[in-house]
Amino acid sequence: MPCYSRERALAFVALIALAAVAIPAAALDYDTAMRQSRAAIGRTPDDHAFTDVNGRRVQLAHFRGKPLLVSFVYTGCGQVCPTTTRFLDGVVQQANAAFGADRFNIATIGFNLPFDNAAAMRQFAKHQGIDRAQWAFLSPDAGGVDRLAADFGFAFEASTGGFDHVTQLSVVDANGRIVQQLYGESFDARLLVVALRSAADGTASPVQDLSDLVMRVRILCTVYDPRTGTYRADYGLFVEIFAGLTVLGATLHYLLREWRRQRHAV
């Protein structure tokens, strides 16, 4: 049985290493992020302070008495956050028809300080075409983002290498307690209506089966520039992944062809 030369073996190892390098690891571990998010259910967040788009001070306790939907965005996002926010607007419209527009509130919170200030949140809402009396776009106080995110089980990682987070919508009951988390860029509007009714009535929230209702949503779509505080689409990531898979495929094809050629040569 012929064996490969040392040079050929080294070339094979180098190609495999190149393919592995070409596929960068995500900044945020999905399983850890999901455990953190699910652990927030049943928790009552602290009374965090915010500034709304008109410069007014708002406390989280201001929303007590009605169910509250809480989402997190960063205003420099050009894809995922606008898409999920516009989708949420459509779902809210359906929930208003089924549940009543005066029965619940929505708060979208910017987590990329100092860039997600009141003016930036106002422009973000305007660009998404959202102008609902029940919907507040809020900027948290400086230094309080990590504690706020921890209270809601919202995990995110930002660096010069990329940005990664799991999209989630927290359903808070009238007493300020998180009763459910909904995930993904889209979901069935009926899930939200049921969650709102449970939050309003004080009944137990329906248990989500992670295998059925929670899709593994790992968003690594943008590159963060700390000098400007903005994010841009990182299409190069997909190019790198494709290149890495191409190299790996070519390597396997070459080895298989050589194995067959040497086998027939015997």
Task: Look at strands 219-225 and 230-233 and give their pairing.
Answer: antiparallel
Distance CA 6, CA 222 (A): 41
Distance CA 71, CA 154 (A): 9
pLDDT of amino acid 203? 67
So where are the chain's domains? Answer: 6-23+235-265, 30-233
In sequence order, what are the residues at sequence separation of 6 or more whose Cβ sits closer than 8 angstroms to the Cβ of residue 55? Answer: 118
Residue 70: closest CA among 231, 164, 157, 192: 192
pLDDT of amino acid 165? 77
Distance CA 64, CA 177 (A): 10
Residue 240: closest CA among 164, 161, 184: 161
- Assign domain 30-233 to its CATH architecture: 3-Layer(aba) Sandwich (3.40)
Whole-structure pTM value:
0.70
pLDDT of amino acid 162? 43
Spell out the per-residue pLDDT of the chain, length 266, in tens: 444 454 554 454 444 444 444 444 456 788 888 899 999 999 999 999 999 999 999 999 999 999 999 999 989 887 888 999 999 999 999 999 988 889 999 999 999 999 999 999 999 999 999 999 999 999 999 889 999 999 999 998 865 544 677 789 999 999 999 999 998 888 888 888 888 988 888 765 544 443 333 333 333 344 444 444 444 444 454 555 566 677 777 788 778 887 777 777 66
How many CB atoms within 10 Å of residue 263?
Answer: 10
